[in-house]
Amino acid sequence: MNIRDFLAQATAELRAAGIESARLDVLLLLEAELGRDRTSLLAHPEDEISPASLYSLNKKCVQRKMHLPLAYTLGNAFFYGYAFYVNEHVLVPRPESEAIISLLLKEVGPLPSPRILDVGAGSGCLGITAALEVANATVLLRDISREALAVARKNTERYQDKVVGRITLEQADLLAGLSAVQYLDAIVANLPYVPTDYPVNAAARHEPAAALFAGDDGMDLYRRFWQQIVASHHNRDSSSTSPVVITEALESQHTAMVKLATAAGYQLSQTQGLAQLFTPTPAR
């Protein structure tokens, strides 16, 4: 089978399965399998696909027809212009989460050596991107999942030449056991926030439920997170400071997030998309 025929056949099959981005998905699969860019593929549609490559492509198309996220099939997802390895143990990075990076860079960019915590790191895309964008930043990636940390470690190694010695990984439950909160400059927390009965698309149902859902209102993890922020206050000395905190949640949850942050001694500073930036409330 040649490229033209496979593109037409596979696109039709994916569309029949309800994949709206069918043609683009097939082109991405062809690029990855054949090691050729889209221009080359479309310029030479008569080129034959080898039996081995055709077998691999058909197998991946079957996965996509089952609505497995394309990023899992490809083993890659792009975030803020960087490629990250992903598998079924982590969420696929979302474009809307790039707002967290935008807010973070405004806060820590001017600092000489910012110290950043990425809590619930998953693939590590947030924390690693921060380290890549701020050359002098040190970043701690924390996640309760050993499997997720293995993915984050692989992504750290991918960019080892640029982040060497500046990223640390820890398996932990949110902020539990972290005694140095007061020495951080920023915490990014893209925690699970989807309500248990919230409708998600077919692709999201293949992602780890523990990384998506967080109780009836989706705020269970954030409630614990802000309570841990409060508890960390008791361990501070007079010279310590409080880090800024950047979260992500549904817009319908933003008011609840502000209430949790206010109770923890924080005030809303800025909102960008789903992201909210909180700064310590000035002492009166």
Residues whose CB is less than 8 angstroms from the CB of residue 66 and which lie 6 or more positions away in sequence, other chains included: 17
CB distance 193 to 222 below 8 Å: yes
Do the beta carbons of residue 119 and residue 189 sit within 8 Å?
yes
Across 2-26, average pLDDT = 96
Domain 89-280 in the same topology as domain 3-66: no
Fold of 3-66: Helicase, Ruva Protein; domain 3 (1.10.8)
| Whole-number Å distance between alpha carbons of 63 and 46 | 26
- How confident is residue 132, by pLDDT bands cut at 50, 70 and 90? very high
Structure tokens at 102: 């935008």
In this predicted structure, the answer to whether residue 284 has a pLDDT above a threshold of 90 is no
Give CATH for domain 89-280.
3.40.50.150
- Is the model more confident about 135 or about 189? 189
Q: What letter represents residue 55's amino acid? A: Y
d(CA 158, CA 22): 29
> For residue 178, what pLDDT is reported?
87
C-beta of residue 165 within 8 angstroms of C-beta of residue 131: no
| DSSP helix/strand/coil, 171 | strand
**In this structure, are residues 163 and 129 in contact, taking their beta carbons and an 8 Å threshold?**
no
Domain boundaries, the chain: 3-66, 89-280
Burial status of residue 227 (CB atoms within 10 A of its CB: 0-12, 13-18, 19 or more): middle
201 membership: H or E segment, kind and range: none
**CA dist 253 → 95, 109, 222, 231, 249 (Å):** 19, 28, 11, 23, 6
* Per-chain mean pLDDT for the chain: 94
| Mean local confidence (pLDDT), 115-119 | 97
Phi, psi of 17 (to 5 degrees): -85, 0
Give me the pLDDT at residue 282, please. 85
DSSP code at position 134: S
132-151 average pLDDT score: 96
**In terms of C-beta distances under 8 Å and separation of at least 24 residues, what long-range contacts does 135-139 make, across chains too?**
136/112, 137/108, 137/113, 137/166, 138/113, 138/114, 138/166, 138/167, 138/168, 139/163, 139/166, 139/167, 139/168
Residues β-bridged to residue 83: 78
Confidence of residue 183 (pLDDT cuts 50, 70, 90): confident
